[in-house]
Structure 1
Amino acid sequence: MQRSTYISTAAAVVLMVGGPVAAAAAATSDAARTPSAAMAAARADIDATGAAEAAVKHYPGTVESLDEDGAVWHVDVIGKNGKHAELTVDTRSGKVFTEHADGDDDGDNAKENKQLIAAKVSAQKAIKAALAAHPGQVRSVSWDDDDNGGARSWEVEIQPKGGGDTKNVHVDATTGKVTVSSSDSDNDGNDENDENDD
């Protein structure tokens, strides 16, 4: 009888001590299954620069344009082989898919491609310059081949931090100078002058 009392008492002690220990072990096990802050940060959306870098790693060449479209970036690249490739980059994983690649290098396209490849300021540098002047999130980047007094430029669409209307920022493809499109003027119509004050 005395032996059974000892066993019952020992069992009670194990349950009293074991309960919190088991609960702590269960919590640790749950925490291991819950993504840590570091893992969550690692899964953050791929931004414009990340999409451009992933695209040229997959298909070596020069980025011509990129555009965010929901869960993917559409990226156009002029390959080192002269072919034009349309790629998609998953915004979560960074995985790249080739949608289309062709030898689109005849006539005017070949001339435009040479100007793009020869530009001192790449799409990636244009993104960096635009964000330095206008912090926010880049939504699209495109090569502007229109003759604006002979200057080539990149058009970068930025969603400003804190919200508000998107800004269409132009980055000179030779100098890297940043200006805001006149269509984005504020009430006073002096956005470009405001640029020089930043």
Structure 2
Amino acid sequence: MKRNIVIASVAAAALIGGGAATAVAFGGSGASDTSSAAAASSTPRSSVSVPDDDVNEDAREAKAATVSAPQAAAAALKATPGTVTGIDLDQDRPGLVWEVDVLGKDNKWHEVTLDAGNAKVLNQRVEHEGDDDHGVARARAELKGASVGAVAAAEKAAASYGTVTSVDLDDDHRGSAVWEVETVTKDGKEHKLNVDPRSGKVSVAPRDGDADGDDD
């Protein structure tokens, strides 16, 4: 998942010197390789599995999932109260899952893995990297003033562009943050969209080298 925006910014600075659930791409890579491997091996399997094939992978995952991004966010918040800071549909070792990052009320980042077929919580863990006060403060600052959260951004994008597979916050978008939403339509076409966190305006994300995308 794309959860490295804030942590990368904080790390770079050190070297020079995530109502409705809301999603912002904050957090770090978390536990050590050893503990991550142990957690993966003990995680219950999802009820949904998609063949491992890079061809139209996102389209097949979107079609197979019966739990939507907003539903996954709601289930994650029941397990870990706080603010959702990332949502991603992924074919992983447990099968097809939603990985939801939550900035908890304890000011720590939590990753909740949910079955993409029934929203059952398969695993939860605390991501220790990035729990510093600076990182949390940065996350809170990005959330402040955003009237459109991840769920609302997902719903706006889905209205015209199909099934949402990912919602993240890009805090380096020409000086102002935007929600980055990835979707897949029934014909298998993938879309990358930007949703303004204040106005809710949806636009097609510019391709590399383009200055702007097309407005919705």
Tell whether the structures are fold-level matches, with TM greater than 0.5.
yes
Partner of 2:154: 127
Structure 2: unaligned runs, 5 residues or longer: 1-64
How many percent identity over aligned positions?
Answer: 38
Larger Rg: 1
Partner of 2:52: none
Pick 1 or 2: higher relative contact order, CA cutoff 8 A, min separation 6: 2
Secondary structure, counterpart of 2:188 in structure 1 = coil
Structure 2 residue corresponding to 1:86, chosen from 105, 111, 117: 111
Cα deviation for residue 102 of structure 1 reads 4.5
CA contact (8 A) 1:76 1:85 kept: yes
Partner of 2:98: 73
TM-score, normalised to structure 2's length? Answer: 0.60
CA contact (8 A) 1:63 1:122 kept: no
Structure 1: unaligned runs, 5 residues or longer: 1-43
Pair 1:161-2:186 in alignment: yes
Amino acid at match of 1:66: I
Number of residue equivalences: 147
Partner of 2:73: 52
Cα deviation for residue 80 of structure 1 reads 2.0
Amino acid at match of 2:204: V
Secondary structure, counterpart of 1:175 in structure 2 = coil
Partner of 1:137: 163
- Compare the two structures and name the one with the higher strand fraction: 1
CA contact (8 A) 2:114 2:123 kept: no
TM-score, normalised to structure 1's length? Answer: 0.65
CA contact (8 A) 1:105 1:113 kept: no
Structure 1 residue corresponding to 2:137, chosen from 111, 118, 121: 111
Secondary structure, counterpart of 2:85 in structure 1 = strand
Distance 1:169 1:147, change over 3 A: closer
CA contact (8 A) 1:130 1:156 kept: yes
Deviation by residue 1:70-99 (Cα, 9 ceiling, x = unmatched): 211111111122110011010112112443
For residues 206 and 173 of structure 2, what CA distance do their matches in structure 1 show? 17
For residues 100 and 108 of structure 2, what CA distance do their matches in structure 1 show? 14
CA contact (8 A) 1:141 1:157 kept: yes
Pair 1:172-2:196 in alignment: yes
Distance 1:130 1:115, change over 3 A: farther
Distance 1:82 1:97, change over 3 A: farther
For residues 155 and 122 of structure 2, what CA distance do their matches in structure 1 show? 25
For residues 121 and 112 of structure 1, what CA distance do their matches in structure 2 show? 18
